[in-house]
Amino acid sequence: MPMKLTILGSSSALPTSERFPSAHVLNAHERIFLIDCGEGTQIQLRRNKIRFGKINHIFISHLHGDHVFGLYGLLSTFNLMGRINPLCLYAPQNYDSLLFSHLKDFDINLNFEIVFTPLKNNDPVIILDDKYLTVTSFPLQHRIPAFGFLFREKPHDRNIIKECISRYQIPVVRIPAIKKGEDFVTDDGVLIRNEDITLPGPKSLSYAYCSDTKYSNRLMSFVKDVDLLYHEATFDRSLSSLATATCHSTTKDAAKTAMDANAQTLIIGHFSSRYKDIKPLVEEAREIFPRTFPAIDGKTYEIGYIDDP
Amino acid sequence: MPMKLTILGSSSALPTSERFPSAHVLNAHERIFLIDCGEGTQIQLRRNKIRFGKINHIFISHLHGDHVFGLYGLLSTFNLMGRINPLCLYAPQNYDSLLFSHLKDFDINLNFEIVFTPLKNNDPVIILDDKYLTVTSFPLQHRIPAFGFLFREKPHDRNIIKECISRYQIPVVRIPAIKKGEDFVTDDGVLIRNEDITLPGPKSLSYAYCSDTKYSNRLMSFVKDVDLLYHEATFDRSLSSLATATCHSTTKDAAKTAMDANAQTLIIGHFSSRYKDIKPLVEEAREIFPRTFPAIDGKTYEIGYIDDP
């Protein structure tokens, strides 16, 4: 299970007794990425048995309280638990000064470093690039500056066909390069094409987080061909005027973006508290994009392997 | 049920999967008083079906995050729900400027007035006095300025003995004064003593909230004869050095305060996350003060009518 997503909160600004405010956890190669941090995130992390010490990267989409009011408590808890490892925080520009000022007001002196990456660009920017994946931020269209995040695994190595190793007497030292796609030349000078001695490796997976945003036809290009698209759907399609007025999306907007982006799967969430039952919202979205699933607090989705509706 | 207490959060600074940070709700004569507002309070309010619109008074004991980080989300929710009624907020001095500055940073413009009462005195002060009760703040002993709160019902009217009305021909107009304790003089000038024509009314109840604090022998005088004392017991008695160092209390400290204050009943809470099972903490306290109960998230206690241990 190389990439899996756990929903910690699926509500919009008003939480309900069943739904916490926004927070997602992406587990990629056993590293934990926290995306948004609504009130109660640390409680949801505990309930879902996610180890606090493994969280080294936190992404904040925008500075509305339902996406960030859990951060103070979480940082305070990190501190009380004796954290010393640096924490990478990606959030709209100037949030670092607000954060540090607020922690100071509350007698919280962090014993670990916060490495802050300000989000400010109007175009996609790679904000994290490591051995396994890249994370790209891209602009959303909300009432205040807001950013989405695309997590994309780097291409996996190709698998070498075992019998080819002896057939062509391939030295062990050449195998890593061949797995990366190089052709092989025998001692007799014969070129063996890479595709004749390897098979494709596992598909590289990707996850995109889009909340909060109104519909924008620019968005689909940022999340093109994504495996799992999370897109807010605060309102049902009958409330499109309210969605436009508040810079949020309807089920139809989310499904249209997923379809136009050629996403494999769509999860909708950030549901208005007016909806006691979210099945009708999912059904609306499935009329346009059949592979739609609802965000449910505490549920984990294996990216690339989500069951058919 | 004139006064009942609902525990929304019983954990100390590190919440657990079972215990939210500090927040209590006192229902007195169907008015709702919120005491402390740890992260997740609004979610717990919803789960316990407490109507947001009935909360007109919020008391914050001190400015540590586990007692106040739920306030931003709650105020934001009040606003989104269309609140216009003023909200009375009682908190350590200068918190109003911190609060307003923080709300502004998060794009929250309240549509209702906050009537702020700063807490700053080193002696008990009546901070609310209405038809039914008084609320007194008093100093606790913590690492930063901290305050406890005593909610005390005003004396109930005495009950007039029905047959005395006809026997002494008491005019209806005199009855309210007699219920307040006045004697009655007949048309013949005979003095009828109040205690001969009335019976005592129901007992006036009281509730005191003491968190966070180290043991202080001054405290018992502030909560003398209280019906229900809530006192923090962050640690078991073997950790008294840690309690002293962090300005918290042990089970023994809480029980001793209850005993010396002649409290009727004690609830302990603010438990350290190290305790998976809190029964041993309750048992420790009961060795000193038998009528001790644990704070349990979501449980309601009827003041004056809490079952025997």
| CB atoms B81 and A14 under 8 Å | yes
Q: What CATH class does A3-155+204-302 carry?
A: alpha beta
CB contact under 8 A, A39 and B102: no
Q: How far apart are the first and last CA of chain A?
A: 20
Q: What is the pLDDT of residue A307?
A: 76
Query: Is residue B309 over pLDDT 70?
Result: no
Q: Where are the domains of chain B?
A: 3-155+204-302, 159-199
Q: Residues 6 or more apart from B283 whose CB is under 8 A from it?
A: none
A-chain CB neighbours of B66 within 8 Å are 73, 76
Residue A1 has pLDDT above 60, yes or no: no
List CB contacts (< 8 A) between A69 and chain B.
39, 69, 72-73, 106
**Which residue of A97, A98, A106 to mutate against B (max B Cβ within 10 Å)?**
A106
Q: Would you say residue B109 has pLDDT above 90?
A: yes
Cβ-nearest to A65 among B47, B81, B108: B108
pLDDT for the residue A107: 85
Q: Which pLDDT does position B305 carry in this prediction?
A: 83
The share of chain A scoring above pLDDT 70, in percent, equals 99
> Which of A183-187, A286-290, B48-52 has the weakest average pLDDT?
A183-187
Q: Which structure tokens are listed for B129?
A: 């006095």
- Quick: pLDDT tens for B176-200: 999 999 999 998 899 999 999 999 9
pLDDT in tens, A11-47: 999 999 999 999 999 999 889 999 999 999 999 999 9
Query: Which of B17, B39, B98 lies closest to A39 in CB terms?
Result: B39
Name the residue of chain A whose CA is nearest to B78's CA.
Answer: A14
Q: What would the mean pLDDT of B252-274 be, rounded to a whole number?
A: 98
What is the predicted pLDDT for the residue at A102? 92
How confident is the model over A216-255, as pLDDT tens digits? 999 999 999 999 999 999 999 999 999 999 999 999 999 9
What distance in Å separates the CA atoms of residue B99 and residue B117, rounded to the nearest whole number?
13
Cross-chain residue pair A17–B107, CB shorter than 8 Å: no
Does position B296 have pLDDT exceeding 90, yes or no? yes
- Over chain B, what is the mean pLDDT? 95
Q: Does A163 touch chain B (CB under 8 A)?
A: no
Task: State whether residue B204 sits within 8 Å of chain A by CB.
Answer: no
Give the DSSP letter string of chain B: --EEEEEEE-B-SS--SS-PSSEEEEEETTEEEEE---TTHHHHHHHTT--GGGEEEEE---S-GGGTTTHHHHHHHHHHTT--S-EEEEEETTHHHHHHHHHHHTT---SS-EEEEEE--SS-EEEEE-SSEEEEEEE--SSS--EEEEEEEPPPPPEEPHHHHHHTT--GGGHHHHHTT--EE-TT--EE-HHHHEE--PPPPEEEEE-S----TTHHHHTTT-SEEEEE--B-GGGHHHHHHHT--BHHHHHHHHHHTT-SEEEEE-B-TT-S--HHHHHHHHHH-SSEEE--TT-EEETT-PPP-
Rounded to a whole number of angstroms, the distance from the CA of A13 to the nearest CA of chain B is: 7
In the structure, what pLDDT confidence band is assigned to residue B1 with cuts at 50, 70 and 90? low
Residue with the bigger pLDDT between B188 and B290: it is B290
In tens, the pLDDT along A247-278 reads 999 999 999 999 999 999 999 999 999 999 99
- pLDDT above 70 for B290: yes
User: Across the interface, do B17 and A107 touch by the CB < 8 Å criterion?
Assistant: no
pLDDT for res A187: 87
User: Which pLDDT tens digit goes with each residue over B4-62?
Assistant: 999 999 999 999 999 999 999 999 988 999 999 999 999 999 999 999 999 999 999 99
The answer on pLDDT for B308 being more than 80 is no
Model pLDDT, residue B128? 97
Q: Could you tell me the CA-to-CA distances from A61 to A38, A43, A130, A147, B37 in Å, in that order? A: 11, 20, 21, 5, 25
Look at residue B284 in the predicted model and tell me its pLDDT: 98
% pLDDT > 90, chain B: 92
Judge whether A38 and A21 are in contact, CB under 8 Å.
yes
CB-nearest to B107 from A42, A63, A102 is: A63
Q: Please, which pLDDT band fits residue B121 given cuts at 50, 70 and 90?
A: confident
Which of A222-236, A294-308, B115-129 comes out lowest in average pLDDT?
Answer: A294-308
pLDDT on residue A2: 78
Q: Which of A153-162, B109-118, B186-195 has the highest mean pLDDT?
A: B109-118
